[in-house]
Amino acid sequence: MRAEASMRSAVPSASSLRRGRMVRVGTSGFQVGLRLGGGYRSGFRASGLGRTLTRAYAEKKFSSDCGQEAQKRTPLYEFHRSLGGKMVSFAGWSMPVQYKEGHIESHLHTRTHCSLFDVSHMLQTKVLGRDRVKFMESLVVGDIAELQENQGTLTLFTNEKGGIIDDLIVTNTSQGHLYVVSNAGCAEKDLALMQNKLKKFKASGLDVDLEIMDQALLALQGPSMAQVLQVGLSDDLKKLTFMMSAVMTVFGIPDCRVTRCGYTGEDGVEILVPAEYAVQLAEILLQSPEVKLAGLAARDSLRLEAGLSLYGNDIDESTTPVEGSLVWTLGKRRKAAMDFPGASIIISQVKEKVGRKRVGLVSSGPPVRQHTPILNPEGSVIGEVTSGCPSPCLRKNIAMGYVKTEYSKRGTLVLVEVRKKTLEAVVSKMPFVPTHYYTGK
C-alpha cells in the first residue's frame, strides 16, 4: 500500500488529529542528512551506500523491463525515460526504480525538500450506489460508515481465516462514491474479490457498482511540499489535514483530487489527475528547485524508515492484523459487531496472546535482508526478517520482521544470520525516524 501506510506508531491517533497538531513520532537518535553548503553532512558515504542499496533493489526486488512489451505503462512512461529514469518491471508495470541522481540522493532529498513519485500503477476504483458503504464494510475491517465527507482511512481486505488479502485506502468522497486505492501487485485478486461480492449484492437487490479508474496518480512528498503546491491550488491546503482530500484545480488543471497522505512518513499529498494532464503537472512541479523525481527504490527505503509495511513482504494472506501490528485498523464498532471477514479469529487473537509479532530491528555490520533468520541468544530460530536495508538517515541497518511474541519487547537483544555469520540486533520501535503527518499546525 500500501497504502501507500501500516504501523500504529507511525500514524497519528484520532485524538491527536482532533487537537489539530503536527505529530512527530520517532527515535531520539534520528539524524537526517541535512544540507550544509549545498551538500550533505560530512562523513556520510552516499556513494558506497548507494551502490549497496541499488544492487539490492536491482537484484532482489525488481527486474529489467528491457524488451518486455507486455509491461503496462503509466501516462508518464516516456517522461520518465526522457529524464533518465531506470525502468524496471514491478507488478506487471514498467516503473522507474531510480534516476541519474541515484537512490540515496532521492531518499535524502525527500526527507529535506520534496520528491515527486509516479504511483499511477496503483489500482484505483470507484464504489458507487446507495449501498456502497455496506458493500465495502462486507470486505474490510475498517469503519467506513463513520468516515467524514472527504475523509480517508487505511484499512484491510481480510479472508475468512483472518489473513490480510491487501491493504488499501478508502475515501468517502463528497461526490457520492467511495474512492479506493489498493496495491498494483494485488490488482487481479482485489478486483476478483470485489466483483464476486458485487454479484452477490446485486443478486440480493442491493444498489452498488464498481468503476475502474484510469487516471494518473502523483505523490508529492516532503517538508517543502506545501510551499511548492500551494501556489498552484484553487483552495487552501491548510484545510486538508492527514487523510483528508478535496477536489480542486491544480496549476490550472481542473477536477484533481488532492489527498493529504503518502508512503514516506513525510507531509505529502497524492494528486489524482486526468491522464492527459499528468506530464504537464509533473513538468510544472519540477520547475521548482525544491522538487526532484524519485523512484521505487527511494520509496521503499523511505517507507521502511517510516515503519510502514509492504504487502507481499511484511504482510500477506498468512498474516493477521494482530500479528502484523495492525490492530489499530480495526474499527471499534466493527470489533464489537464482529461482522468482517475472519472476525472471530482476529478478535480471539486480540483477546489472547498471539504467537508472533511484527517488530523493528536495528543492527550493524552487513545489511539484513528479507528471509534472514532471526535467532534468540541461544541460537534457536525465533523468526524471520521480511524487509531490511541500510538506513540513509540513520546510517545503520534497519529491518522489520516477525519474532515469537516473547521476544517482541523493545530493547530485546536477538541475533540475525547474515552471510553465514551471526550478528547482534536489537528490537526497536517503529517508525525508525520521526514522521511528519500534517494535523493542522
Known binding-site residues equal: 270
Q: Which residues are annotated as a binding site for substrate?
A: 270
End-to-end CA distance of the chain: 26
Q: Computed from CA positions of residues 35, 268, 280, 294, in that sequence, does the dihedral angle turn out positive or negative?
A: positive
Contact 245, 173 (CB under 8 A): yes
The phi, psi pair for 58, rounded to 5°, reads -70, -40
In this structure, the strands spanning 209-212 and 93-98 are unpaired
| Cα–Cα distance measured from residue 11 to residue 23, given in angstroms and rounded to the nearest whole number | 9
| Cα–Cα distance measured from residue 248 to residue 258, given in angstroms and rounded to the nearest whole number | 7
Q: Computed from CA positions of residues 362, 322, 387, 77, in that sequence, does the dihedral angle turn out positive or negative?
A: negative
Angle at 259 between CA 255 and CA 261, to 5 degrees: 160
Helical H segments across 331-398, by residue range: 332-337, 343-351
| Cα–Cα distance measured from residue 360 to residue 427, given in angstroms and rounded to the nearest whole number | 6
Contact 220, 285 (CB under 8 A): yes
In this structure, the strands spanning 291-293 and 114-118 are parallel
Q: Which of 343, 399, 276, 345 is nearest to 137 (CA)?
A: 343
Contact 194, 376 (CB under 8 A): no
